[in-house]
């Protein structure tokens, strides 16, 4: 991952500092605080700050003065109960702040999750770096014939190389024209705005969606779980899912009991509708149920049989 030396120096300085606090800290999270965790070809995630832990969830649920019970098993049991019965507000007491660098098209998906505080790098004031996302050949696929939002068969090596060439040449040309409109000499030095042919806020519109942007993103644990439930799912687009997978690893370090409960009851679970519940009861009694006799549509039946691991009829 190409990162400016000045940025790395700032991060090394931040990681070298420490502060005394009476608030709970998480050693596993402190270990990676401020550290760049690379994603895709030029992207990254880093934890900037956090507040709360598993005990804070318990404390909020009980509205207690202490740090939870003396028995860790009781705290874990309560957290699982809260997650199982959708008591969400105790999880809102924990917050985390990330610095995230991602392709613009990923950011446009990400921003649909409106329950967070966001501040994005401004190309009105600064010049964007020449960094764009170029997918690996194995991640280039044709449009799915059964899913309007998904990918189908992976392209052949020849087709993938042709697509990568187009993406590379288009991104290179767009940035070259971007620099020209700014009268930027490509040295990386701060340019005199009086020399610009075009204002930065206008020149930026020429860049393609695979160029990288970055932002600070602060969110509470409940809404973070909602984000992960959608974006860490196997059906999510690969380019945002890899970010969600890294965030999942961070959350496991931060609030292990809460994350365990989330994975158990939501991320890796399957919810049954009332009709599906009745079908399970019919199957248990020995009845052979087919899609035609189930009362479900073909799509619902496929989701049901996949969800419970039943061979389709």
Instruction: Give catalytic residue positions.
Output: 231
CA dist 158 and 250 (Å) reads 38
Rounded-to-integer distance, Cα 137 and Cα 106, Å? 19
Beta bridge mates, 99 = 46, 216
The token pair that represents 115 in the structure block: 């329950």
Kindly give the residue spans of alpha helices, DSSP state H, lying in 214-310. Answer: 221-231, 238-254, 256-262, 274-284, 291-294, 298-307
Cα 84 to Cα 226: distance, rounded to the nearest angstrom: 14
The Cβ-side half-sphere exposure at 241, using a 13 Å CA radius, reads 9
CB 195 within 8 A of CB 81: no
C-alpha distances out from residue 224 to 210, 217, 303, Å: 25, 11, 25
Other Cβ atoms within 10 Å of 220 Cβ, number: 20
Are the C-beta atoms of 208 and 166 separated by less than 8 Å? no
Task: Give the residue among 112, 136, 100, 110 at the shortest CA–CA distance from 213.
Answer: 100
């Amino acid at each position: 991952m190409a990162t400016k030396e000045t940025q790395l120096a700032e991060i090394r300085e931040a990681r070298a500092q420490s502060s005394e606090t009476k608030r709970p800290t998480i050693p596993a999270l402190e270990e990676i605080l401020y550290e760049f965790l690379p994603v895709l070809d030029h992207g990254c995630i880093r934890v900037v700050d956090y507040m709360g832990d598993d005990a804070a969830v318990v404390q909020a649920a009980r509205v207690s003065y202490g740090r939870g019970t003396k028995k860790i098993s009781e705290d874990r049991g309560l957290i699982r109960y809260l997650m199982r019965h959708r008591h969400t507000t105790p999880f809102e007491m924990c917050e985390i702040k990330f610095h995230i660098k991602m392709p613009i098209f990923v950011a446009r998906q990400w921003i649909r999750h409106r329950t967070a505080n966001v501040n994005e790098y401004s190309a009105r004031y600064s010049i964007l770096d020449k960094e764009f996302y170029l997918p690996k050949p194995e991640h280039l696929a044709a449009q799915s014939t059964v899913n309007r939002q998904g990918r189908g068969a992976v392209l052949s090596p020849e087709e993938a190389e042709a697509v990568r060439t187009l993406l590379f040449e288009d991104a290179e040309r767009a940035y070259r024209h971007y620099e020209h409109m700014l009268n930027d000499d490509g040295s990386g030095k701060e340019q005199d705005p009086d020399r610009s042919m075009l204002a930065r806020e206008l020149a930026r519109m020429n860049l393609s969606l695979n160029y990288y942007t970055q932002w600070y993103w602060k969110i509470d644990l409940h809404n973070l779980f909602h984000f992960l439930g959608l974006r860490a799912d196997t059906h999510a687009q690969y380019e945002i899912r890899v970010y969600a997978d890294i965030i999942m690893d961070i959350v496991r370090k931060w609030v292990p009991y809460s994350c365990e409960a989330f994975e158990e009851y939501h991320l890796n679970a399957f919810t049954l509708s009332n009709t599906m519940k009745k079908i399970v009861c019919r199957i248990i009694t020995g009845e052979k149920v087919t899609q035609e006799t189930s009362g479900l549509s073909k799509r619902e039946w496929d989701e049901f049989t996949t969800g419970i691991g039943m061979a389709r009829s």
